[in-house]
Amino acid sequence: MKRILAALLCVAIWAPVCQAQGRLLPDTLHRGELEIAVPHSGQAGLVYALYLPKQYTPTRTWPVVYCVDPDGRGTAPLEQFRAGADAYGYILVGLYSYSRDNPNAGLISLPLVIAETRARFSINPQRMYFAGLGSGARFAYTFARQRGGAAVLLLCGAGINNAYPLSRAVPFGLVLAAGQQDMNFAELQTLTGLASELGLPNRMFVFGGGHTWPPPATCTEMLYWLQVDAYKRKLEPAALLAQLKPELIAQFAQRLSKADSVERSGYRYTAFLQYTALATDYTDVLDADIAMNSAARFKSDPAVEDSLLAVNTTLSTEQLFRGQIDQGFSSILYGTSAKPMSFWRELNGNLSNQAQQAVSIMQSTMARRLVTYLTEGLFEYTEQQLRARQYDKAEKLAEVWQLVQPERFQGYYVAALSYAQLGRKNRALEKLDEAVTHGFRNARLVEQEKLLEPIRQEADYLRILSRMRAGS
């Protein structure tokens, strides 16, 4: 009840607190240093991570990025964004209370953190940004749609909540980021295309890696894009915009030179992408005709056309497979009957063929993303079903897991937990034994696992436990 009242109180006071820019609390924190745990002044037990840029002063207002990590790591995104925060002057705030397992805690605490930071620090109310990774990105999007207040969302490794589809009426822009091997890469590629069709400000950044926060260099680029967007939309006072203009001109020239160098090196498709991004980013900021004309030169270039076709074909193939994987999961989780194992065998075979028949780095990377999407889904959904005591569904997922990764122990172990709770002791013991055969050696975990209580007194259980301790 106390949490609910706190959330309601926050809604009531949000507007007046946000306008209280003249009533700043004393600044006792250090600029240019990562504050790991800043206690909330009015909510016992609530802390947040904070980074004030080195040049912070309360005599002017500053943009702020509220960051949401899927595992509640408040400092993780701040470490990645801090270089850009110093370069361009951003306050960073990291939320600890959100986690993918308890999103409601984030819905309660984020408004409290926003109200406190806006009262304590000099923040530009027109330049509030929310950033998230994975489920944290979907949370940030949902929060912005429900509560408003965001100028741009920085969505990393995941896109939107489909309960709130994109439309032309969405009041914020989108900065998207994904590693080339991120399982949700195709989702974000599709999302940036949709945002462009709807006329929403957007940009996608791609980096080498998987499902993680972008590296510092990419995070700095993302914050710079926010600078350009702020200039376009006049989100700063005229005096600050005038100071920003020379920086934008210099960055445009630097990026144009880089694109020219890429073109001269023979990478025409990459040059086309860079010229196109330049023209899109700087339209209505300065004369970007040179970038626009350079991009136009490549539109009928056969090499560029072939690359665009390959990208679109790969994206379509990936979306098709993701849809099939989603159908399979939905049939287990929500349907009256699960897809038969023949469905999963065919799907797994097709995924294997994609990997074996790949003739380009793009295709092989897509195949790896799809395998990751499937295995991460198995991990997430089995965990959910075990927690919800839906052991029959967990067992079906475990069966798929054993098919997809027969060399790994996880599927066998989940099956053992499920069978034990379903009263099928012999099957539980068989699967636990198979888990050991495939490398499972954590005897202490087995001894502490409450779901295995039904088989604890079985002779075979003691034999398997001894085998685990012996490492055989």
Q: What DSSP assignment string belongs to 360-404?
A: SHHHHHHHHHHHHHHHHHHHHHHHHHHHTT-HHHHHHHHHHHHHH
Q: Which amino acid is at 117?
A: T
* Residue 73 structure tokens: 């790591």
Q: What is the pLDDT of residues 268-286, one digit of tens each?
A: 999 999 999 999 999 989 9
| Gap between the Cα atoms of 46 and 37, Å rounded | 9
- Ordered per-residue pLDDT tens for the chain, 472 residues: 333 333 333 333 333 333 333 334 445 678 999 999 999 988 889 999 999 999 999 999 999 999 999 999 999 999 999 999 999 999 999 999 988 878 888 889 999 999 999 999 999 999 999 999 999 999 999 999 999 999 999 999 999 999 999 999 999 999 999 999 999 999 999 999 999 999 999 999 999 999 999 999 999 999 999 999 999 999 999 999 999 999 999 999 999 999 999 999 999 999 999 999 999 999 989 999 999 999 999 988 999 999 999 999 999 999 999 999 999 999 999 987 888 999 999 999 999 988 888 888 899 999 999 999 999 999 999 999 999 999 999 999 999 999 999 999 999 999 999 999 999 999 999 999 999 999 999 999 999 999 999 999 999 999 999 999 887 6
Residues 157 and 181 sit within 8 Å (Cβ to Cβ): no
* Residue 366 structure tokens: 């897509």
DSSP-derived letter for residue 31 is: B
pTM of the complete model? 0.87
Q: What is the pLDDT of residues 185-207, one digit of tens each?
A: 999 999 999 999 999 999 999 99
Q: In what order do the strands lie in the sheet with 202-207?
A: 34-39, 47-51, 91-95, 62-68, 123-133, 152-156, 173-179, 202-207
The per-residue b/e assignment along 433-446, b for 16 or more CB within 10 angstroms, e otherwise, is: bbbbebebbebeeb
What's the pLDDT at 99?
84
Q: On the CB side of 206, how many CA atoms lie within 13 Å of its CA?
A: 14
Residues 40 and 112 sit within 8 Å (Cβ to Cβ): yes
What's the pLDDT at 472?
60
| Gap between the Cα atoms of 22 and 209, Å rounded | 44
| Gap between the Cα atoms of 408 and 421, Å rounded | 22
Place of tokens 């937990």: 417
Residues 128 and 94 sit within 8 Å (Cβ to Cβ): no
What's the pLDDT at 28?
65
Residue 230 has a CB neighbour count (10 Å cut-off) of: 21
Nearest alpha carbon to residue 132 among 63, 187, 211, 195: 211
Q: For helices 2-18 and 103-120, give the axis angle rounded to 10 degrees.
A: 30
| Gap between the Cα atoms of 114 and 242, Å rounded | 29
